[in-house]
Amino acid sequence: MFDKQKRSDIMRQVKSSGNKSTEEKMITFFREEGITGWRRNYKVFGKPDFVFHKQKVAVFLDGCFWHGHNCRNTHPKQNEDYWQRKISCNMARDEEVTRRLEKLGWTVVRIWECELLRKNQTVLKEKILPLLSPIL
């Protein structure tokens, strides 16, 4: 669809934080549910998107393409080997981050981008609310 330079420019603009399609929707969910006590940019291993430090809960919002979720069945045709390696490395890093945080006593919640973008937020409620019920 794009030439190599244009695609490179587009991919370079994808940032790991400040993503409106995920982080802003999560903030809206927290506000609608009356969930408080969350922090962003909290200094803990793995750089979670949101942290509830008193409960030691780390929430990661994982983009489906970048973290290997097969919900949209999106597989680049060009430079396929590069993308398979890139996504595999991301998935391995995610597993390592989860393992290390859990070893330190944290509960890790990973939410897929597609789960967050659905109109029905049942998945979010099921994954997050039980972990925070003592503070709600």
What is the pLDDT, as a whole number, of residue 13?
A: 62
Rounded Cα gap, residues 38 and 49, in angstroms: 10
pLDDT at 100: 98
Region 102-127 average pLDDT: 88
| Residue 7 located in a structural domain | no
1 has a pLDDT exceeding 80? no
Q: How many CA atoms lie within 13 A of 84 on its CB side?
A: 5
| CATH code for the domain in which residue 42 is found | 3.40.960.10
Residue 2 placed within a domain: no
Query: Is 33 inside a domain boundary?
Result: yes
Give the mean pLDDT of the chain.
85
Mean pLDDT of 80-87: 88
User: Does the residue 4 lie in any domain?
Assistant: no
Asked whether 95 and 72 are in contact (CB, 8 A), the reply is: no
* Residue at 36 is within a domain: yes
What range does the domain containing 118 cover? 19-132
Is 12 within a domain? no
Q: Does the residue 6 lie in any domain?
A: no
Count of C-beta atoms within a 10 Å radius of residue 88: 11
Report if residue 114 sits inside a domain: yes
Q: Please tell me the total count of domains within the chain.
A: 1
